[in-house]
A = this chain, B = another copy of it.
Amino acid sequence: MSIQDYINSLDERSRQVLFAVIESYIHKPEPVGSRFVTKKYPMGFSPATIRNIMADLEELGLLTQPHTSAGRVPTDRGYRYYVDSLLKPESSVPRDPYAEMMRDFARRIDAIKNDLTVLFHEVTDTLSQMSNYVGVVLPPKPAKTVFSRIDLMKYRDGNVVALLLMDDGVIRNKVIKVDPELTQDDLNRIAEYLNGEFHGKTLDEMTEMLVRLMHDEKALWDKMISRAIEVCNQTLRFSGEDLYVSGLYDAMDLPDFSDINRIRQLSRAIKDKHTILRLLDEFANTEGVHVVIGRESSASELQNLSIVASSYRDGGRPAGVVALIGPTRMDYSKAIVMVDTVAHCISQAFDEHR
């Protein structure tokens, strides 16, 4: 019988004690003693009994002691058990306290769902304000979004403004350089050609087509086409995938970040976004709420941090991810409800949208 098996077969008493320790510690970040448990979570046993149980839980790696004569503190594995086995009956999580906020939220995002940038900023702001953790949104992969149209307008010098509209609302404008000889009429013809060519394609397909076109003979003798390819090529050169983040400032006030190094760690994790990006990306095609606790993610940047994430859907299919990043000592039940609800709100907003 492996440790995992032992953990899975915890008896009710042990579960109660573990639950008590974790809830208490989440409420107030101080090691929890046996006497304290008997007082605040009375279950008819003396401190000595609780001590025995706690010792068992420590042996299983669910709790640990900061030092010999201190109370117990949950380990990452402890939180994991808490999240998986103690919170799972989701009905027990009280959604009501947030219902009001969420109705309000749903109303607000309804008004701005046309502009994804504004929408996602609103989402991260709301998430972080409500939770005091760091709110994150992974926007839909632009590569998977469907081309709607491109417009080209002459600007100053030899510059042209390219406006790229995608079907789901991702709008991008970019100043590109072209042959200054081109007139607006030329540009219109180029845009028209591109609109026809790329109609209904995803960005991925577009770039693929572009590569093919560039080797096509037709492009060699038709100047207009070769120019169109050039324009398109410039426009599609993206600023890379981005991530909406907010709430670092509020999170800094959490007791978990009273240590300067913890703050640095958190901000570093947020600063070079690709760690988080890679992690969230894994959830982009899944359903439901996921929780990653501390070292569970192999990324060392996230050692003392946990992530609660859920994908949201656009037209039934998973599109992007919303998440909360906080300390491992996180109010998981609260965070899970929030992330879940917000994800649903977004999915719903998208659905009404089409």
Within 8 A of B (CB), among A111-139: 114-115
- Please provide the 5 A-B residue pairs with the shortest distance between their CB atoms, ordered closest to farther: A114-B175, A249-B271, A115-B175, A249-B267, A173-B173
Residue A60 lies at the interface, judged by CB distance under 8 Å to chain B: no
- Between-chain CB contacts (< 8 Å), 13 pairs: A114-B175, A148-B156, A155-B165, A156-B353, A171-B173, A249-B267, A249-B268, A249-B271, A252-B263, A252-B267, A253-B264, A258-B260, A259-B260
Residue A53 lies at the interface, judged by CB distance under 8 Å to chain B: no
Interface residues on A, range: 20 to 34
Residue A7 lies at the interface, judged by CB distance under 8 Å to chain B: no
* Main DSSP-derived SS at the A contact region: mixed
Name the distance in Å between A164's Cβ and chain B's nearest Cβ.
Answer: 10
Residue A159 lies at the interface, judged by CB distance under 8 Å to chain B: yes
Q: Mark A252-279, 1 if CB is under 8 A from B, else 0.
A: 1100001110011001100100000000
Q: Which residues of B contact A115 (CB under 8 A)?
A: 174-175
Q: Which residues of B contact A174 (CB under 8 A)?
A: 115
Chain A positions within 8 Å of B, measured between CB atoms, are 114-115, 148-149, 151, 153, 155-157, 159, 161, 163, 165, 167, 169, 171, 173-175, 177, 248-249, 252-253, 258-260, 263-264, 267-268, 271, 353-354
Docked CA distance A155–B149 (Å) = 9
Docked CA distance A271–B248 (Å) = 10
Q: Which residues of B contact A169 (CB under 8 A)?
A: 175
Docked CA distance A55–B64 (Å) = 56
Residues A163 and B165 in contact in the complex (CB < 8 Å), given A151-B153, A253-B264: no
Docked CA distance A120–B123 (Å) = 25
Are the CB atoms of A248 and B267 closer together than 8 Å?
Answer: yes
Q: Which residues of B contact A156 (CB under 8 A)?
A: 148, 167, 353-354
- A153 touches which one: B165, B259, B264 (CB < 8 A)? B165
Docked CA distance A169–B174 (Å) = 11
Docked CA distance A259–B153 (Å) = 52
Name the distance in Å between A167's Cβ and chain B's nearest Cβ.
Answer: 8
Q: Which residues of B contact A249 (CB under 8 A)?
A: 267-268, 271
Docked CA distance A149–B114 (Å) = 23
Can you name the residue of chain B whose Cβ is closest to the Cβ of A175? Answer: B114
Residues A114 and B165 in contact in the complex (CB < 8 Å), given A153-B151, A171-B175, A263-B263: no
Can you name the residue of chain B whose Cβ is closest to the Cβ of A167? Answer: B156
Q: Which residues of B contact A159 (CB under 8 A)?
A: 114
Can you name the residue of chain B whose Cβ is closest to the Cβ of A267? Answer: B249
Are the CB atoms of A153 and B161 closer together than 8 Å?
Answer: no
Q: Which residues of B contact A153 (CB under 8 A)?
A: 149, 151, 163, 165
Can you name the residue of chain B whose Cβ is closest to the Cβ of A250? Answer: B271
Can you name the residue of chain B whose Cβ is closest to the Cβ of A253? Answer: B264
Can you name the residue of chain B whose Cβ is closest to the Cβ of A112? Answer: B175
Can you name the residue of chain B whose Cβ is closest to the Cβ of A262? Answer: B260
Q: Which residues of B contact A253 (CB under 8 A)?
A: 264
Q: Which residues of B contact A354 (CB under 8 A)?
A: 156
Name the distance in Å between A253's Cβ and chain B's nearest Cβ.
Answer: 7
Docked CA distance A153–B149 (Å) = 10
